[in-house]
Amino acid sequence: MKEMIRDEVGKGAIFLYIQLVASMVSGYVFIILLSKITTTEVIGTYSLLVAISEVLANIVIIGLADSIQRFVGKSLLRGKVSEAKLFVKIALIFLSISLAVLSFVLLLFPDLLTKVFGIGFEYVIVIDMMVASYAIYTVMYSIVVASLKTKILPLIIIVSSISKVILSLGLVLVGAGVIGIALGYAFFGQAFSSILLAIFIFRMFKRTKEFEKPQISVKNASKDLLIGGFVIWIPALITTLGIDLGTLVLYNTNGPYQSGIYFLTLAIVNAIHAIVYSIYTISLPALSSMDDGRKRFAWHMIRLCAIIVLPLASAMLFFSKDILQLVGDNYTQGSLTMQILLLSTFPVIVLSGVETLIYSYGKYRYAISINLASSLPRTILYFILVPSLGIAGVAISFTVGSVIGFIVSVIIAHKIAMKILWKRLGLTLIIPISIAFIFDNLKVNYVTAILITIILSYLILTKLHIVEKSDGSFLLGLMPAKISKLFIIISNKFEKVIDWFFK
């Protein structure tokens, strides 16, 4: 049963990450093309609108996304479809009420944004539209993730990404500026994705026949959703502030130019962290449905995240300037910022894994502690460091918060008797960093250095039995049949070499 759940999580995570990669690749292509036809200041102003809309959207969502993943996922994995439907319906009602209230406040008191950030009323309207599309998309997305039926996500994202890139670039070319980017890329893209997700969700529940009435009442289901959402809502909001407040403070103190540079730098680092979040996001419904073995399962997810992510992040750490130069020479000044942000990868892997585990247990007090420990220091440090250090101050604040959250998560893991094999995690971090450091000092071409760092890291980690033979079988099982057969044929030809690594 546990192996079946692990396979379901693995397959779900693969498709989830493909979707995230497709979304981010389209985002990078969009930013690169945008940088060629408009200014860094325009991108910086767009980043301001995105940051404001994400903060407000997280207020509107009231923690429903995480709550849905826990309760809808748990119900579906236990075969209680009618109960899952009830949770979905209640969540959509709560979201509709919350959106209506926020829209009323924004339109009645636009000065809350116009005077603070020096933007016009037309931007307030655009932000309101972005908030609605972002909130609806997030809730719809969470329902699909909770079902573990994530195979549809890459297709939906690819179709919507192509559409929004073409539309937004077209609007920029005809002179629509920041509003054109926001409406075309953010609003239209999320609204279109939400429609496609809603169609999939409707068909998914329609195909699933269950005639029993839900065993849980509307009152209790509402209570579960609100309590489960509320305990994660405030910390999640602070987490969002811990990420987006950096952009807001940076914009107000240093202007749109540095905001544009930071926006791109953060987007690249987020691509690395997306691997972590995709695995943990898809793990939450599975963990919530398990009666035992959660701690071992959570450790396996942490180990897997570290093996997949740390070699790449370590390699990029030493070649950030070369990577940013691909976008444009004016973005290379963000290389130090990118390096500092990449240092947060290891703490993020551990704290996110522990947080996912304890949230699945319903230990909300511990979940709040980890969130607050990482987010509050970030928020405080933004106001202290950003005015004097600029984009580097934002990165330092974010990474310091991640380290503090990591320390708290380790303390909590010890309290709940969760076993973390620190020697394995430490070697997974130290080995690729050491290899990348050597290549950097030898002035090896960055593309070659990154590729060899990753390959050598995996070979050494395999010989040290940190990468286990079962990991290869697990990953092969997640691949399409034709691809996995091809890998099996190739591995059979090198069977003696592979066996030597695992001896």
Per-residue pLDDT tens over the stretch 288-341: 667 677 888 888 888 888 988 899 898 888 988 888 887 777 778 888 888 999
- pLDDT at position 1 is 44
Q: Confidence class of residue 478 from pLDDT cuts 50, 70 and 90?
A: very low
Same domain, residue pair 395 and 290? yes
Q: Is 269 exposed, middle or buried (0-12, 13-18, 19+ CB in 10 A)?
A: buried
User: Could you tell me if 114 and 97 lie in one domain?
Assistant: yes
Based on the domain organization, do 253 and 401 belong to the same domain?
yes
Cα 476 to Cα 211: distance, rounded to the nearest angstrom: 38
Number of structural domains the chain divides into: 2
Considering the domain architecture, whether residues 52 and 105 belong to the same structural domain is answered as yes
Q: What is the pLDDT of residue 346?
A: 94
Q: Against a cut of 0.85, is the pTM above it?
A: no
Higher-confidence position of 173 and 93: 93
Query: Where is average pLDDT lowest: 19-23, 72-76, 95-99, 104-108?
Result: 19-23
The fraction of the chain above a pLDDT of 70, given in percent, is 79
More reliable by pLDDT, 196 or 245 = 196
d(CA 100, CA 203): 27
Residues in the chain: 503
The answer to which of 68-72, 343-347, 391-395, 456-460 has the lowest mean pLDDT is 68-72
Task: Give 347's contacts (C-beta < 8 A, 6+ positions apart).
Answer: 399, 402, 403, 405, 406
Residues 406 and 495 in one domain: no
Backbone angles phi and psi of 333, in degrees to 5: -70, -10
Report d(CA 153, CA 196) in Å as an integer.
10
| pLDDT at position 113 over 70 | yes
Burial (0-12, 13-18, 19+ Cβ within 10 Å), 470: exposed
Give the range of the structural domain holding residue 241, as residue numbers without chain letter.
2-467
Residue 31 to residue 267: CA distance in whole angstroms? 10
Q: What are phi and psi of 445, to 5 degrees?
A: -50, 135
Query: Does residue 157 carry a pLDDT above 70?
Result: yes
Whether residues 88 and 47 share a domain: the answer is yes
d(CA 331, CA 265): 8
> CA–CA separation, 445 vs 449, rounded Å?
6
Highest mean pLDDT, choosing among 190-194, 245-249, 409-413: 409-413
Choose the most confident range, by mean pLDDT, from 117-126, 208-217, 399-408: 399-408
Instruction: Give 403-452 pLDDT, tens digit per residue.
Output: 999 999 999 999 988 888 899 999 999 999 999 999 999 888 888 999 99
Q: Which helix (H) or strand (E) holds 271?
A: helix 256-289
Label residue 469 by pLDDT band (50, 70, 90): low
Same domain, 303 and 318: yes
**Same domain flag for 475 and 391:** no
pLDDT score for 431: 94
CA distances from 430 to 18, 52, 67, 149 (A): 28, 37, 36, 36
Q: Is the pLDDT of residue 21 over 70?
A: no
Per-chain mean pLDDT for the chain: 79
Please, what is the Cα angle at 455 between 452 and 461, to 5 degrees? 130
Same-domain check for residues 446 and 476:
no
pLDDT digit string, tens, across residues 340-373: 999 999 999 999 889 888 877 777 788 888 888 8
230 burial type by CB count under 10 A (0-12 exposed, 13-18 middle, 19+ buried): middle
Whether 364 and 493 share a structural domain:
no
Same domain, 91 and 75: yes
Closest CA to 79 of 184, 215, 200, 243: 215
- Indicate whether 70 pLDDT > 90: no
Are 368 and 494 in a shared domain? no
